[in-house]
């Protein structure tokens, strides 16, 4: 794994150098994005004119992972686990409280101005709700074309209409729809428009925050297929955030499982789905309703008790311990680190992947026994 | 029907001398008059539920699954909604012909509903204990103290921890899963004969989803209630339903016992849906996708409404509406409870 | 699946008509913006038709009073000085609504007084909308300390009773022209729009499309004027339209109290004030300008309601 360049730590890189670094090409198989100990704490305040901080919601509390060129990294977790906040931090829509996100050696959490704009050209986002992510008062042509107004260097003025129509064609929409407004489209079509907007700048990374969860089942498959097709065509790297574990498995090369602002387990799709070692992953997988009543009957189900604790006041030690059936005293005092568990270290088994549990143990919950 | 003074135990069979299904919907039509024309939301739906049985109504947005439920509950907005024809028989009596007063008596007492969004279904300024107790005060004239006692009992029943301590908490103090439990408790309060659950777990996380569905199934058995479960999630249905009705463009396109449907779908739409969901236990290749868009209710295609999206559509499908017919084995043996509205059901199920 | 297995079908979808648009006429219905939809609704709303016809006539009268009467509003002939019944002439003639105490044509004064009322209403609304929207946008978009300070200032102004405050402001001017009255009303009126705009901006600011624009690297100006303003404007337009009627009646009230416009300026408020003095003997002097004020205020309120219904389909 390439270490991020040291120059920027001194903060001495000029804006021009940063832009040059960002625009440079990258090899397939290299980490394109390195996330290190990312944190986001939302302050809880009291008072009207003079605000006083009374606590913090630790939405993201020390998340690290790499994204490789051309791969899809899935991030799964329940509501409130911080997965959407991670997306916002990676897009610089929220400022990180601490931690770094290295993109081609540049820590993008500290960039601004021209350098940040250059990063935005290469990292784009597809939003969850196709009904709210398109400005209802702009035509489809304006929505996609706006990207070229903001980054005029990408497409010369006279060429923009043609480019927009090309993009519509790429995502499978009729290019003649360019003058229509979002409310004239169905949910699936709107999500295609959102994807076209994300593609307009020809980015390297697209962060997808629940891109299909608002769509009908029959349309979900269309959009997932489209995203896979585009990935091959444009050599994109995806971060695919979702709560639907089946879809994440389908599209991802590697998967990270988040719980209460921390990464619980991360590995390839086979490692996570077929050889999970973290109890939370196991419970999550076993709870997924499977559209096959017979396989269902043979599967072991782990039903967790209780709800996810509040991120404003997370449990000490391991955050999952309040719902974990394996929890012992150690779990309350010692925070488990995200690493290959000791018992699997050096072994050539799919269970040897990073898992933040003191008592990591392999358990297949997906396949009928 | 005595008032409910016994606390629990199996009260089956309840409700007088009517034999036959608890609820039967016959040839129900619902349309909405909008600016752009008449949207035909429900176009001749037939289904029935018996006591102790779970019927899952499966469909995508615009399939008419929720509108049918609203028509049964009598909470359809009219206008713009209109029921031009059809019958909704509850214990053999057509509810559409009842007076408002009679329907009001059935709603809540005999038929209760659970909604998707528990937060907006609960009044934020009243404590959950008050809201639960209200059912007993209004319908059974209990005193405030007795009503609160019953509320605590109900909260225990739906497994809300420390019910006694939490009875005076407000809805926002509960998590999503707990709020859905409160909704279930409210629906159960008067021990109805039938519960309609409209996407009860869609807004919940998977780990909580499982808890809530289990609870619902357990309580349904205990009270021997009929349950209509409306959902778009093929996974959730597989867990709890006895029989499934698949809706498309306001019609039932396939009906089957739960195991049968997944094993051998008899309608290309059902087959397409099943094929388009990725599997958890293996990594597939490209997903099968049903082409095209869900139908526009203002202009439902002629013939079979699914024909523009169907891989097998022929000229017949463009002109003739396929009736919902019983499905048989290849040798002609009847498959109980199975029906399909496809001209080519034989090819679909046996092909 | 036997045949069309494993084919992604985006191309097919594109050929289909989107579900919202009737498939029969896809070509004619190419672009239907939300404003276009609202206009479509408005044109069919009887309230809108009635109020806009009324407002059109009021604006015409204000712009070209000469079209409606040749009589002078200020020249009085004491021959007509009159304390009894109006001598009814032909409709539209100088004397058909009678004369006032100084023998001036009530009809002519009504026609010529329209301009003052309309100018006050439109000018105050324009100023208030611009100032209030800017303040509301700044407050709502930037939040934090800026919002806290601006909101408290707004609250202070909001706390001042509207008419009482206007009276105090007007007291400090000796020469009370239309301009002064406009200033006094606008000075106290902007807070209402600020509050509405601030609320709308805060809602819109969180919309995904604003986040999306930020993610594309859009600057603050673009976000404010391309994304937030067009989507936050609807409630402001409604409130401003309804308020316009209110400003006209406020002008009349102030003039009646002797603190607004004063003779020789011709305005309905001035006439109402004069009419009160003769209320026992010749009610018509009071009656006609009062009716005009009521009709005008009603017209704008009706227009505002119609616009609200058109812009907010949820209320339908």
pLDDT tens track for B82-107: 888 888 988 888 888 888 888 888 88
How close is the nearest chain A Cα to the Cα of C226, in Å? Answer: 9
Q: Same domain, yes or no, for A66 and A172?
A: yes
Is the pTM higher than 0.90? no
Asked if A43 reaches chain C (Cβ–Cβ under 8 Å), the answer is: no
Task: Give the pLDDT confidence of C181-234 residue by residue, as tens digits.
Answer: 898 889 888 899 999 999 999 999 888 899 999 888 888 899 999 899 988 888
Cα diameter, chain A: 68
In a domain, C27, yes or no: no
Per-residue model confidence (pLDDT) at position A168: 92
Query: Considering CB atoms only, which of A287, A291, A367 is closest to B210?
Result: A287
Nearest CA in chain A to C234: A137
> What is the ipTM for the molecules in this complex?
0.82
pLDDT class for A203, splitting at 50, 70, 90? Answer: very high
Q: Same domain, yes or no, for A189 and A282?
A: no
Alpha-carbon gap, residue C4 to A246, rounded angstroms: 23
Alpha-carbon gap, residue A107 to B131, rounded angstroms: 52
Least confident segment among A327-331, C68-72, C286-290: C68-72
Asked if B62 reaches chain C (Cβ–Cβ under 8 Å), the answer is: yes
In a domain, C14, yes or no: no
Q: Same domain, yes or no, for A307 and A178?
A: no
Give the residue from A215, A217, A274 with the most B CB atoms within 10 Å of its CB, the best one to mutate. Answer: A217
Q: Which of A218, A252, A286 is the last residue of a domain?
A: A252
Q: Same domain, yes or no, for A195 and A311?
A: no
Asked if C17 reaches chain B (Cβ–Cβ under 8 Å), the answer is: yes
Task: Give the pLDDT confidence of B142-173 residue by residue, as tens digits.
Answer: 888 888 888 898 888 888 888 888 888 888 88
Q: What is the CATH number of the domain that holds A196?
A: 3.40.50.300
Q: Give the range with max mean pLDDT: A172-176, A256-260, A310-314, B106-110.
A: A256-260
Q: Same domain, yes or no, for A188 and A110?
A: yes
Please report, rounded to a whole number, the percentage of residues in chain C having pLDDT higher than 70.
82
Question: What number is the average pLDDT over the span A102-122?
Answer: 87
Angle between helices B176-188 and B128-140 (to 10 degrees): 10
Q: What is the 3-state secondary structure (H, E, C) of chain B?
A: CCCCCCCCCCCCCCCCCCCCCCEEEEEEEEEEEECCEEEEEEEEEEEEECCCCEEEEECCCCCCHHHHHHHHHCCCCCCCEEEEEEEEEECCEEHHHCCHHHHHHHECCCEEEECCCHHHHCCCCCCHHHHHHHHHHHHHCCCHHHHHHHHHHHHHHCCCCCHHHHCCCCHHHCCHHHHHHHHHHHHHCCCCCEEEEECCCCCCCHHHHHHHHHHHHHHHHHHCCEEEEEECCHHHHHHHCCEEEEEECCEEEEEEEHHHHHHCCCCHHHHHHHHHCCCCCCCCCCCCCCCCCCCCCCCCCCCCCCHHHCCCCCHHHHHCCCCCEEEECCCCCEEEEEEECCCCHHHHHHC
Asked if C92 reaches chain A (Cβ–Cβ under 8 Å), the answer is: no
Report how many helices (DSSP H) and strands (DSSP E) chain C contains, helices first.
Answer: 12, 0
Provide, as residue numbers in chain C, all residues whose Cβ is less than 8 Å from the Cβ of B35.
41
In this structure, the strands spanning B54-58 and B243-248 are: parallel
Q: Please state, in angstroms and as integers, the Cα–Cα distance from residue B324 to each residue in B286, B303, B333, following that order.
A: 32, 13, 18
In a domain, A365, yes or no: no
In a domain, A132, yes or no: yes
In a domain, A72, yes or no: yes
Residue B278: CA atoms inside 13 Å, Cβ hemisphere, count?
Answer: 24
In a domain, C309, yes or no: yes
Nearest CA in chain C to A121: C216
In a domain, A369, yes or no: no
Q: In B128-165, which positions are buried (b, 16+ CB within 10 angstroms) versus exposed (e)? A: bbbbbbbbbbeebebeeeebbbbbbebbebbbbeebee
In a domain, C1, yes or no: no
In this complex, do C217 and A121 lie within 8 Å of one another by their Cβ atoms?
Answer: yes
Task: Give the pLDDT confidence of C118-164 residue by residue, as tens digits.
Answer: 888 999 999 999 999 999 999 999 988 888 899 999 988 888 888 88
Least confident segment among A74-78, A227-231, B14-18, C52-56: B14-18
Per-residue model confidence (pLDDT) at position C129: 94
Q: Same domain, yes or no, for A129 and A246?
A: yes
By residue range, what is the domain housing residue A196?
Answer: 30-44+55-252
In a domain, A197, yes or no: yes
How close is the nearest chain A Cα to the Cα of B292, in Å? Answer: 8
Q: Same domain, yes or no, for A91 and A213?
A: yes
In a domain, A268, yes or no: no
In a domain, A8, yes or no: no
Least confident segment among A49-63, A259-273, B52-66: A49-63
Is residue C37 helix, strand or coil? helix
In this complex, do A132 and C209 lie within 8 Å of one another by their Cβ atoms?
Answer: yes
How close is the nearest chain C Cα to the Cα of B35, in Å? Answer: 9
Residues of chain B with pLDDT under 50: 1-15
In a domain, C17, yes or no: no
Angle between helices C178-205 and C106-142 (to 10 degrees): 40
* Domains of chain C: total: 1
Per-residue model confidence (pLDDT) at position B181: 85
In a domain, C24, yes or no: no
**Is the model more confident about A252 or about C73?**
A252
Per-residue model confidence (pLDDT) at position C113: 86
In this complex, do A220 and B294 lie within 8 Å of one another by their Cβ atoms?
Answer: no
By residue range, what is the domain housing residue C102?
Answer: 34-315
Task: Give the pLDDT confidence of A280-296 residue by residue, as tens digits.
Answer: 999 988 888 777 777 76
Q: What is the CATH number of the domain that holds C112?
A: 1.10.3720.10
In a domain, C297, yes or no: yes
Per-residue model confidence (pLDDT) at position B300: 87
Alpha-carbon gap, residue B332 to B329, rounded angstroms: 5
Least confident segment among A71-80, A287-296, B73-82, C293-302: A287-296
* Domains of chain A: total: 2
Q: Same domain, yes or no, for A342 and A219?
A: no
pLDDT class for C76, splitting at 50, 70, 90? Answer: low
Identify the structural domains of chain B with CATH numbers, from first to last: 23-241 (3.40.50.300), 246-350 (no CATH)
In a domain, C177, yes or no: yes
Asked if C27 reaches chain A (Cβ–Cβ under 8 Å), the answer is: no
Per-residue model confidence (pLDDT) at position A125: 92
Q: Give the range with max mean pLDDT: A165-179, B333-347, C10-24, C246-260.
A: A165-179
Q: Same domain, yes or no, for A228 and A306?
A: no
Q: Same domain, yes or no, for A69 and A182?
A: yes
């Amino acid at each position: 794994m390439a270490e991020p360049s040291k120059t920027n730590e001194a903060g001495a890189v000029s804006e021009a150098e940063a832009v040059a670094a960002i625009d440079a090409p990258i090899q397939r198989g290299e980490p394109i994005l390195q996330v290190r100990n990312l944190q986001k704490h939302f302050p809880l305040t009291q008072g009207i004119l003079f605000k006083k901080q009374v606590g913090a919601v630790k939405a993201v509390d020390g998340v690290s992972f790499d994204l490789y060129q051309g791969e899809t990294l899935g991030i799964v977790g329940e509501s409130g686990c911080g997965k959407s906040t991670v997306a916002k931090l990676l897009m610089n829509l929220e400022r990180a409280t601490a931690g770094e996100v290295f993109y081609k050696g540049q820590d993008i959490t500290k960039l601004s101005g021209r350098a940040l704009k250059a990063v935005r050209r290469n990292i784009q986002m597809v939003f969850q709700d196709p009904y709210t992510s398109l400005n209802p008062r702009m035509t489809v042509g304006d929505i996609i074309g706006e990207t070229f107004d903001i980054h005029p260097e990408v497409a010369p003025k006279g060429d923009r209409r043609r480019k927009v129509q090309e993009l519509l064609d790429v995502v499978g929409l009729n290019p003649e729809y360019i003058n229509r407004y979002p409310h004239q489209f169905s949910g699936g079509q709107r999500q295609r428009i959102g994807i076209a907007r994300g593609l307009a700048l020809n980015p390297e990374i697209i962060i997808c925050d629940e891109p299909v969860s608002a769509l009908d089942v029959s349309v979900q498959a269309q959009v997932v297929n489209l995203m896979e097709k585009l990935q091959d065509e444009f050599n994109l790297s995806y971060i695919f955030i979702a709560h639907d574990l089946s879809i994440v498995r389908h599209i991802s090369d590697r998967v990270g499982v988040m719980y209460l602002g921390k990464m619980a387990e991360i590995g390839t799709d086979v490692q996570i789905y077929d050889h999970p070692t973290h109890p939370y992953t196991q419970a999550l997988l076993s709870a997924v309703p499977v559209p096959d009543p017979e396989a269902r009957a043979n599967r072991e189900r782990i039903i967790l008790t209780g709800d996810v604790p509040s991120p404003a006041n997370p449990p000490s030690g391991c955050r999952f311990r309040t719902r974990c059936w394996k929890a012992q005293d150690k779990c309350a005092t010692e925070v488990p680190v995200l690493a290959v568990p000791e018992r699997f270290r050096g072994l050539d088994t799919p269970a040897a992947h990073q898992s933040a549990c003191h008592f990591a143990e392999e358990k297949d919950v997906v396949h009928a026994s | 029907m005595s008032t409910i003074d016994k606390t629990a135990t199996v009260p089956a069979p309840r409700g007088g001398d009517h034999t036959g299904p608890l609820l039967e919907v016959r040839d129900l039509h619902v349309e909405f008059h909008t600016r752009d024309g008449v949207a035909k939301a429900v176009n001749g739906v037939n289904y029935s539920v018996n006591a102790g049985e779970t019927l899952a109504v499966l469909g995508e947005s615009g399939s008419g699954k929720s509108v049918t439920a609203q028509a049964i509950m009598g909470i359809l907005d009219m206008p713009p909604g209109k029921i031009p024809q059809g019958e909704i028989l509850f214990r053999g009596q057509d509810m559409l012909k009842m007076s408002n007063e009679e329907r009001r008596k059935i709603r809540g007492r005999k038929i209760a509903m659970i909604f998707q969004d528990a937060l907006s279904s609960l009044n934020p300024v009243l404590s959950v204990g008050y809201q639960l107790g209200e059912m007993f005060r209004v319908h059974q004239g209990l005193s405030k103290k007795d009503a609160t006692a019953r509320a605590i009992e109900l909260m225990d029943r739906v497994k809300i921890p420390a019910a006694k301590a939490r009875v005076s908490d407000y809805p926002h103090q509960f998590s999503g899963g707990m709020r859905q439990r409160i909704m279930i408790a409210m629906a159960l309060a008067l021990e109805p004969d039938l519960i309609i659950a409209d996407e009860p777990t869609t807004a919940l996380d998977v780990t909580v989803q499982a808890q809530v569905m289990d609870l619902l199934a357990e309580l349904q058995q205990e009270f021997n209630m009929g349950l209509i479960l409306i959902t778009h999630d093929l996974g959730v249905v597989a867990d709890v339903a006895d029989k499934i009705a698949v809706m498309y463009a306001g019609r039932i396109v396939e009906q089957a016992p739960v195991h049968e449907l997944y094993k051998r779908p008899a309608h290309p739409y059902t087959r397409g849906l099943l094929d388009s969901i990725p599997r958890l236990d293996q990594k597939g290749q490209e997903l099968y996708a049903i082409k095209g868009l869900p139908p526009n209710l203002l202009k439902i295609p002629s013939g079979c409404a699914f024909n523009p999206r169907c891989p097998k559509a022929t000229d017949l499908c463009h002109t003739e509406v396929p009736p919902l017919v019983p499905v048989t084995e290849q040798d002609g043996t009847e498959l109980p409870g199975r029906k399909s509205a496809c001209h080519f059901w034989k090819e679909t199920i046996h092909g | 699946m036997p045949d069309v297995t494993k084919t992604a079908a985006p191309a097919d979808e594109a050929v289909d008509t989107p579900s919202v648009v009737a498939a029969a006429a896809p070509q004619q219905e190419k672009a239907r913006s939300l404003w276009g939809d609202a206009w479509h609704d408005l044109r069919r709303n009887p309230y809108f038709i009635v109020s806009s016809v009324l407002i059109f006539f009021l604006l015409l009268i204000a712009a070209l009073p000469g079209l409606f009467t040749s009589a002078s509003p200020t020249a009085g002939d004491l021959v007509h000085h009159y304390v009894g019944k109006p001598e009814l002439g032909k409709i539209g003639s100088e004397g058909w609504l009678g004369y006032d105490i100084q023998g001036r044509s009530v009809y002519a004064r009504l026609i010529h007084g329209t301009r003052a009322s309309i100018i006050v209403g439109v000018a105050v609304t324009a100023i208030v909308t611009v100032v209030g929207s800017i303040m509301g946008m700044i407050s709502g978009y930037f939040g934090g300390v800026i919002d806290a300070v601006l909101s408290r200032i707004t609250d202070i102004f909001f706390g001042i009773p509207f008419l009482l405050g206007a009276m105090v402001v007007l007291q400090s001017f000796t020469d009370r022209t239309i301009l002064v009255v406009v200033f006094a009303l606008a000075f106290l009126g902007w807070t209402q729009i600020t509050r509405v705009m601030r609320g709308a901006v805060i809602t819109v600011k969180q919309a995904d499309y604003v986040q999306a624009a930020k993610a594309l690297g859009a600057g603050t100006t673009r976000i404010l004027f391309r994304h937030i303003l067009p989507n936050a404007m609807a409630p402001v337009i409604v409130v401003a339209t309804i308020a316009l009627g209110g400003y006209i009646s406020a002008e009349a009230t102030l003039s009646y109290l002797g603190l607004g416009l004063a003779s020789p300026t011709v305005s309905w408020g001035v006439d109402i004030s004069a009419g009160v003095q003769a209320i026992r003997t010749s009610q018509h002097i009071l009656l006609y300008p009062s009716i005009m004020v009521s009709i005008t205020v009603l017209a704008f309120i009706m227009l505002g309601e119609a616009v609200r219904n058109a812009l907010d389909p949820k209320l339908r």
